[in-house]
Chains A and B, each alone.
Chain A
């Protein structure tokens, strides 16, 4: 589809100044998957902004398009998926238009790295872990055999693996899940990338290990000046990690803002519902809040607001017309007709209004 510019050599603008502090700006990204002749629209005009040095978390339930959106940033959509609309600007290059594998090789792993959910399967079981780190260093930093080995050992040390010399020679099955995730992180950041995408990196781990890994990512972010895109459906993790939050539903970012804005001044009914279903907010003896129904099938064309059928605050307009993006503050935006001038004034549920107190009471933060 975007074949006309495939022959032009891609040019990354690596000078730090030119784009202010905005590293990635994705707009109106639309992704369609072809599943045996049926079309599934996984992203329906999603957008986000990632600024230098900050952590942006994407939250949303399964199938909301979190992972798909993050994969478009690194050119790793499954073969049956294509970006059919929108742009993803990164240092003067539209990532949505890169089609040549060679072009991606200058970005993937080198400038934008990604780690996945399950560390148990992310490493080649038949290759020494040291070699798996070293091959990235050789590929992207152009170091020779000895220098790259030293660099790999340094990385192991950096992610908190003791006795790196011995560990270097070991195979993945000799590591625990948490240790493997450390190795995966070491591999991902081995060449000083600018951006680290973490796709639910702690979901498969024990709770105690989770905290360690989150701390590690935070520490590395500070030490190396990483910008982190963090995907999760765990609002507890969000509260711990995020500077900014993007809430996704049915292939769209429905609300985005700073942690403060989302937790204490959210505007979208879906965000309210998400917050209200935090188990920490449950009151003893009362039923926990749960969002009714299931997300819409993305095989069908969605008319109006995808959340409308599950939304107790739905307006009639939600069933017919697509909700535009309303800007609440320079960093806070939401897609809901409730922000329209014509809309009746609606109060968020009590539990969300009193979130600050609730959180203080239950978590002590």
Chain B
């Protein structure tokens, strides 16, 4: 704050020219990405969820480093079967073969997260590439639109079932089945954006002013896409995890000797009447993972909307 002189006649003299000051008082510098992350991180809910996601991911991937418990180790001693946590079955108890559910939950979370990450990455990668082509190459429009119609008109669970039915059950089968339909939505979105942005007046203006292509792409196009793509990726993860549970239930999921959240939930369900903890704990962890990703994805989408920036 400036020192305020008393109002008096001596102040009524022309002010010295203060070169540059008239420009300084304008609005502060605005950066899209900084504002996006600041808005995202300022929300306590997003912050907590982000922390949960990071902790869960790290813990599930690092669990084998910290613990030597083998999630597939069957207890030969019948006494060790179906022990609830209170009966000394470990943190989450043991299952029908005496396997440690705590360890299995972490291994399962890792499998499911890995599945989700790979699918999200492939969906977004293929979707972005195909969408960009779709938007730029006019000849492709007809055929791509037809593919889009075919893939989206068929109910998604049915398509998922059919593909998993034809392929042999397994980790990569689930990935292929989910990705073969997942990319098209993203491609469609990217295509619409590309069409819209490419012909928007500010980009034509940019081009006529001689802005180099890479600058148009990084400054004008990418911000529109990346935020939505990050959200799509975040939302693909709970969807993939859910799909794995669904396929496991139908009998087209991961082989039973693979520890995954889907297998844990489906097995827990069978034993629920006698040993409810076998379903409850894996379910809670699964819900925590999917809900965190879902809300965090949405919160990020909100934060990436410039209208929500200060």
> Which A residues have a C-beta under 8 Å from some C-beta of B?
35-38, 292-297, 300, 303, 308-310, 312-321, 337, 340, 342-344
CB-CB under 8 A from B28, the residues of chain A are 297
Partner of B11, one of A294, A300, A320: A320
B1-43: CB near A (< 8 Å → 1, else 0) gives 1101101010111110110011111111000000000010000
In the complex, residue of chain A having the shortest beta-carbon distance to the beta carbon of B16: A316
Partner of A315, one of B14, B21, B24, B25: B14
In the complex, residue of chain B having the shortest beta-carbon distance to the beta carbon of A35: B310
CB-CB under 8 A from A314, the residues of chain B are 14-15
A320, B4: Cβ atoms closer than 8 Å: yes
A28 and B39 CA atoms in complex are apart in Å by 34
Overall SS of chain A's interface: loop
Q: In the complex, what's the smallest C-beta–C-beta distance from B20 to chain A, in angstroms?
A: 9
CB-CB under 8 A from B22, the residues of chain A are 292-294, 309-310
In the complex, residue of chain B having the shortest beta-carbon distance to the beta carbon of A346: B14
> Which B residues have a C-beta under 8 Å from some C-beta of A?
1-2, 4-5, 7, 9, 11-15, 17-18, 21-28, 39, 308, 310
Q: In the complex, what's the smallest C-beta–C-beta distance from A310 to chain B, in angstroms?
A: 4
CB-CB under 8 A from B14, the residues of chain A are 313-316, 344
CB-CB under 8 A from A295, the residues of chain B are 26
A293, B26: Cβ atoms closer than 8 Å: yes
In the complex, residue of chain A having the shortest beta-carbon distance to the beta carbon of B14: A315
| Pairs A-B, 8 closest by C-beta atoms | A293-B22, A294-B26, A317-B11, A342-B12, A342-B9, A310-B22, A309-B22, A314-B15
CB-CB under 8 A from B12, the residues of chain A are 315-317, 337, 340, 342-344
A292 and B26 CA atoms in complex are apart in Å by 11
In the complex, residue of chain B having the shortest beta-carbon distance to the beta carbon of A303: B2
Q: In the complex, what's the smallest C-beta–C-beta distance from A346 to chain B, in angstroms?
A: 9
- CB-defined A-B contacts under 8 Å, sample of 24: A292-B22, A293-B22, A293-B25, A296-B25, A297-B26, A297-B27, A297-B28, A300-B25, A309-B18, A309-B21, A309-B22, A309-B24, A313-B14, A315-B11, A315-B12, A316-B11, A316-B12, A316-B15, A319-B2, A320-B5, A321-B4, A321-B7, A340-B12, A342-B12
A344, B13: Cβ atoms closer than 8 Å: yes
**A316 and B21 contact, Cβ closer than 8 Å, known pairs A35-B310, A297-B26, A297-B27:** no
Q: In the complex, what's the smallest C-beta–C-beta distance from A70 to chain B, in angstroms?
A: 23
A344 and B12 CA atoms in complex are apart in Å by 7
B11, A293: Cβ atoms closer than 8 Å: no
Q: In the complex, what's the smallest C-beta–C-beta distance from B30 to chain A, in angstroms?
A: 12
A35 and B27 CA atoms in complex are apart in Å by 15
CB-CB under 8 A from A344, the residues of chain B are 12-14
Name the residue in B2, B15, B39 with the highest tally of chain A Cβ atoms < 10 Å from its Cβ.
Answer: B15
CB-CB under 8 A from B310, the residues of chain A are 35-38
CB-CB under 8 A from B1, the residues of chain A are 303
A363 and B310 CA atoms in complex are apart in Å by 44
In the complex, residue of chain A having the shortest beta-carbon distance to the beta carbon of B27: A297
**A308 and B15 contact, Cβ closer than 8 Å, known pairs A303-B2, A342-B9:** yes
Name the residue in B4, B12, B13, B18 with the highest tally of chain A Cβ atoms < 10 Å from its Cβ.
Answer: B12
CB-CB under 8 A from A318, the residues of chain B are 15
A35 and B309 CA atoms in complex are apart in Å by 9
CB-CB under 8 A from A309, the residues of chain B are 18, 21-22, 24-25
Q: In the complex, what's the smallest C-beta–C-beta distance from B59 to chain A, in angstroms?
A: 34
**A319 and B15 contact, Cβ closer than 8 Å, known pairs A292-B22, A297-B27:** yes
CB-CB under 8 A from A37, the residues of chain B are 310
A320, B23: Cβ atoms closer than 8 Å: no
